[in-house]
Structure 1
């Protein structure tokens, strides 16, 4: 099973296979979403209480996927786009005010989604393995969607971008919200499955089925790279 038949919900079980996307080098960009220090760094397990250790263990599969799959694949994809002379952009959660009063409501609600990440603090920075180059655009957002509340839509339009390749975290939250916003703005969107992660594999896989075929097409990194090798792109 390849990307044309995988990740289908029952809505699209009988839909015809999509055509290969056209990845023109001057109108295709890679967008890396929220791969920030706060999500990959955590304290030593032995320093935590019993309750905290249980939660630490719950998140271990996510951290292993980030370390072994998402970050290495994303780093390789970034380098491929750079070699091809294609645009690489980044979005990160970062508020302008130290007390976070400029955040959207979704980031102020209590619980796991409560996010206070001032823009200059270590926690809000892109991880070192994926560090942007000086000429690569980074937008700061206090929303789930990278288009809502930033000028990313205008920047993509100004650069003539029509196809956006999306990677990052979390598949079921900021990645999904951004993908839906891009689709609503009539961008062609590709999501790279093995460059994304959610809090659990179940959430990751279910969200891919939900957004595939209507808001985007879901591919693996190797499938995207094979398309990039095609001539006359």
Structure 2
């Protein structure tokens, strides 16, 4: 197996502890649970995200929810059912929701200002879709100097058309996570791999 750029650059191979991180749940919206945009393995990923969220809440770790919008009547209509955050991982109390319109959660949002106010440098990321908004946000975080950890079991994606035919969701999931772990993030297999 070849070396990752992370290893060659001397970057950490292990995740920071949850206690020293901020949990960011990306686009855990109803649109991904049914119909055109239903993701492969979405319910299992939501179950894992719920466990992660419960751990963060129990530990008093800051939680930020990200919600994508493309406006009224779209698949991501945050005023409608499709764009709503899944009840299983919905915000509670004063947990903030950052609404975005781009795959990278830092673009034209106040996410970075919120993280600076919290003094956060370590981020634990989960949500949807692995190849799109999770990938873009992890890369954006890395480029801004944050240390992201992506919890693989709490992410999911879907099959996509490719130049040589359909790319199965499992292949896209694996490739997206491998690309992130080459440099941009520590990728852990599941919630249990994130230390308290």
The verdict on a shared fold, with TM-score over 0.5 as the criterion, is: yes
Q: Give unpaired runs (5+ residues) of structure 1.
A: 1-7, 43-55, 100-114, 229-233
The one of 102, 112, 120 aligned to 1:161: 120
Alignment length (residue pairs): 183
Q: Give unpaired runs (5+ residues) of structure 2.
A: 159-168
Measured in 2, the distance between the counterparts of 1:130 and 1:212 equals: 25
Q: Could you say if the C-alpha distance between residues 195 and 24 of structure 1 is closer, same or farther in structure 2, counting changes exceeding 3 Å? A: closer
The structure in which a higher percent of residues are strand is 2
Which structure has the greater CA radius of gyration? 1
Q: How does 1:1-233 map to 2 (within 5 A)?
A: 10=2, 12=4, 15=7, 18=12, 20-23=14-17, 25=19, 27-42=20-35, 62-63=39-40, 65-67=41-43, 69-95=44-70, 98=72, 117-199=76-158, 200-219=169-188, 220-224=190-194, 227-228=195-196
Question: TM (normalized to structure 1)?
Answer: 0.71
Measured in 1, the distance between the counterparts of 2:187 and 2:29 equals: 23
RMSD, matched Cα: 2.4
User: 1:88-141: CA deviations, max 9, x gaps?
Assistant: 11111124x537xxxxxxxxxxxxxxx553331111110011111021011111
Question: TM (normalized to structure 2)?
Answer: 0.84
Q: Could you say if the C-alpha distance between residues 19 and 98 of structure 1 is closer, same or farther in structure 2, counting changes exceeding 3 Å? A: closer
User: 1:31-79: CA deviations, max 9, x gaps?
Assistant: 111111111123xxxxxxxxxxxxx7xx87x34x112x20111101100
